[in-house]
Structure 1
């Protein structure tokens, strides 16, 4: 469902660019838009990457943190959870996550961390 919305947005952007190319205004607007896109790419590439710069395609990351919820229980055994694992499945281009495919949280206890 999310991919469908993004596809519609891309089609609308291409339609607007196509309409601008046929007008005199496009001579001024399109270079400004192109500079904005280049600036955005530069900002993304200068940030610390979540993956290596050669990574491309769907990837999964797991992030661990202490359990903020005192009532959380371990999904394996039902005892109080001490850690929350957050998993993130993303589409990655040049080490930069571009599209979030799936995410969630898994509370676990110390016995099941490994």
Structure 2
């Protein structure tokens, strides 16, 4: 027979996570920013991130057409961050562009 103490579950803490639209990593909410929704700026970001890869550019555009997306801080130069005033951590300085994304695939190397 189960005791009453063993049937009581302790509360769990839910940590909000977002998936980066560029690399697909699941990242803490504090380590992402919204992918810009300004059309001209979005086109510029997609072009930079695709780095000449037309297939990846098309995939990114299709993904962005389905609603709000997020991009992790790994895709921005470290000089584009400032210390937050209210808590620990950093935030992205406004109007900064991401760096070119390089996808690393290890299949077929050896």
Query: If the length of structure 1 is used for normalisation, what is the TM-score?
Result: 0.24
Structure with larger Rg:
1
Larger RCO: 1 or 2 (CA < 8 Å, sep 6+)? 2
More helix by share: 1
More strand by share: 1
